[in-house]
Structure formats: structure tokens, C-alpha cells
Amino acid sequence: MPLSTPTPLQLFLNRLLRRSPLGRQEQEAILGLRNRPAQVEPRQDIVSPGTATAHACLVVKGLVARFDQMRDGKRQIVSFYLPGDMCDLHSVAVSTPGWGLEALTTTTVLFVPHADLAQLAQDHSRIAMAFWRDTTADASILAKWVGNLGRRQAAPRLAHLLCEMGSRMEQAGLGSKTRYNLPATQAQLADATGLTAVHLNRTLKTLAPYGVTFRARTVRIEDWGPVVEVAEFDPAYLLLRTGEPARAA
């Protein structure tokens, strides 16, 4: 398979390799995981809060959100997942979540059995460590979102989210950090940043002098440095390896 058209499991492997060295045998084991593809329509739940699952969800195409749900049905988006992200790898250890996963666009996912992931971790210590690092990175991003929502004002809060998504898109080969497709609506961005849709629109105008635009679901950041300053964005929390990842033992 050409590198320009990686398989869905190759996308997941690439994500792991950005944080962990894995040898050829370990890589082949990951690429050989059993899986079941599914298409999920926008605004449909992939995993509902409190519902036990027997599989983890790998995003192939589209955009997925993790959310918390209040008693009255209101939701708060707490993270975004891109192609190559396994949204709930931690569900291998805890199969009944207190949160949910929702497709924000028409989304293609692969369901990978918990039993197979657990067996891989048992058979290969470096795969177990790679899975552990991946879930640690997920928790690190979630913690940053909590601080972003709780302590930053609207403009730096939105700027931080856009810088994060740009960095993650670039690392995943889905765009550049200054120009990428983000298939979310303004209402969904507002939810992710704890703003109303009207306030989000005003905040985008506040960031316009820095060359920030969000039109037709495309984000452009013309002047990266000043936006990073506004956001106080430090990508260290993404826990990415520096340089090329080691792909063989």
C-alpha cells in the first residue's frame, strides 16, 4: 500500500509511532488486528454514556467528539478525535464509560475488539507501553482542555483550541498547522470552548487581526507566532516524540 494512501490501521500505527518505538513484528501485529468497519451519521452516538462496549473505536474518516452529558440531556464536548485516533483505547481496561462519543460529521470508524487489544498488550510489552503512552497523551490533552475552559478568556481559549488542532492535524498528515480542514460547525466549536454561538462568532472577529479565519470548515492562521502567544500554546502536553520515531528495534 503506498504511503500516500495508508490503511486505517496504518493511521493508528503511525499515531503510536509518533510517541513510541516499535519493531517490525510489533507493527505487523497491530496491522493484523481484527476490525469491523461502520459508518455513523452526523449527531449520532458511537458510544453512549453508561453503555458497556466490547470494542474500541478507531476514526478512519470524519470528526468525533467525546462528550459529557448532564441529567437534562445537555452536552459538553471535551475532546476532538481525528482520523488515526483510537478514541477510547482506555476502554480496554474500563468497558463502561461515564462519557460518550458522537460523530460530528458523516464518520467512518473501525471497531477493534477489546480482547484482541488486550492480547496484544499481554504478548508484546512494547505494544503495552505504546498503548499506555497513547492513553496518557489522551488524558494530557483532556487536562489541558479543562484548564483552557476554566481559566482562559474567550479569545485565548479559542486560539488555543485552533493551535492544538493545527498541530495535531500536521502531525497526522491531515494538513498544515496554519491551514487545515476542521469539519465542525460554529455551534460545535462554541460547545467545545464553552461559548455561545454568538460569542464564538465575536471571538473569531477578535482573532481576525492575527490572520485567523474559519470559513467553509477550513481554519487559516496567517501569523502562527502571535496566535501562539495569545493562546499561551505550548505543544509539550501533546507528548510527541522529537525527531523521527524509531520504527524498528
Is the torsion defined by CA of 6, 8, 13, 17 positive or negative? positive
User: Is the per-residue pLDDT at 3 higher than 90?
Assistant: no
DSSP state of 244: S
Parse the chain into domains and list their residue ranges. 8-147, 153-231
* Entry pTM: 0.92
The answer to whether the Cα torsion of 143, 137, 49, 97 is positive or negative is negative
CATH fold label, 153-231? Arc Repressor Mutant, subunit A (1.10.10)
pLDDT tens per residue, range 197-241: 999 999 999 999 999 999 999 999 999 999 999 999 999 999 986
pLDDT at 247 over 50: no
At 213, which amino acid appears?
T
Chain mean position to CA 25: 27
pLDDT at position 1, please? 40
DSSP state of 2: -
* pLDDT at residue 5 in the model: 67
**Does 8-147 match 153-231 in CATH topology?**
no
Fold of 8-147: Jelly Rolls (2.60.120)
Segment 59-83 shows an average pLDDT of: 94
* Residue whose cell numbers read 498547522: 177
Q: What is the pLDDT of residue 232?
A: 96
